[in-house]
Amino acid sequence: MSEIIIPTNSNIYTTFQQLATGQRLVFLAGLPGTGKSLLIQQLVLLAQQAGRTVDLLQWDLARAPFETAVLLQKYPEIDGATHPTIRKAVGLWARTAVHQWHALHQNSNRLLIGETPLIGNRLIELVQATNDAIEADLSSSQTRFVVPVPSTDVRRHIEAAREKSIANPQHQNESDDAPPNVLHAIWQEVARLGQQLQLAQQAAPAEKPGHFVYDPAVYTAVYQHLLQHRHHQMLPINTLLKPSGSVYDLPLSGTKLTATPAEVDAIMQQIETKFTGDALETAVANWYQL
């Protein structure tokens, strides 16, 4: 049974109470292995406790309808990573899905909570400033992007807990979580991006040339860059939160946003018409250019 475990005297609890009662859309951004799944669970529970109906938009669930046997044969995973075409398709669908959700529930008490990795073009479309119908809502003060930033010690504990949960999953979703080696590889991408864009006062410390250890300051700088067009805040995580069960055990009062087969077909046709040659791979490779 899921329960609220955030200490009531913590900065996390204070922030989440404000988000749960005062926002229309809340997106938790950041890498795998930063505690997003647990924090989403806790935010959902607090919002529902406050009487709100909560809907969810999550990267892993959002990409599942696009990973049909036919599409995976055409756009297979590359070294365990989702194909660039599918990543772009999920992002374009998500932007439309958020617009539809907002139009449908604009006069209701519903709250949309999203999980947006952003790195490597995973729902990056939600933070790009684009001249379309949803931009005003995404850039509104009623929409907030929150980036949990674990301390070095907390990050280390999360990675250790991830090893255990993958080896002995308490929920079917846990076996699909990114393993520690993938967490490490994605962090390398963030650290290199911080160095490339000269975003931090100093580069992340290197274990060896081109191989960086986790650095909260560099992590913060990169995500502040990615969220420059959105209302956002960094949320330091200095205390390890220990759930009693799986972070995926969640009695949701609303729905989980996913694409219908017709929506998948429409988005894929749009992409295959719009992007020709190497244009799509180039667009995805330059995902951080906002």
| Beta-sheet strand order (sheet of 25-29) | 54-58, 111-116, 25-29, 143-150, 232-237
Tell me whether residue 123 is in a domain: yes
Mean pLDDT of 59-85: 92
Would the pLDDT of 168 be above 70? Answer: no
Tell me whether residue 203 is in a domain: yes
Q: How far apart are CA 94 and CA 125, in angstroms?
A: 8
Q: How many domains does the chain have?
A: 1
Q: Residue 149 is encoded by which pair of tokens?
A: 């930033």
- The confidence score (pLDDT) of residue 158 equals 84
Tell me whether residue 2 is in a domain: no
The model's pTM is 0.91
At 203-237, the pLDDT tens digits run 666 666 667 889 999 999 999 999 999 999 999 99
Tell me whether residue 166 is in a domain: yes
Tell me whether residue 41 is in a domain: yes
Tell me whether residue 1 is in a domain: no
pLDDT range class, residue 21, cuts 50, 70, 90: very high
- The confidence score (pLDDT) of residue 179 equals 67
Mean pLDDT of 237-263: 89
pLDDT range class, residue 183, cuts 50, 70, 90: confident
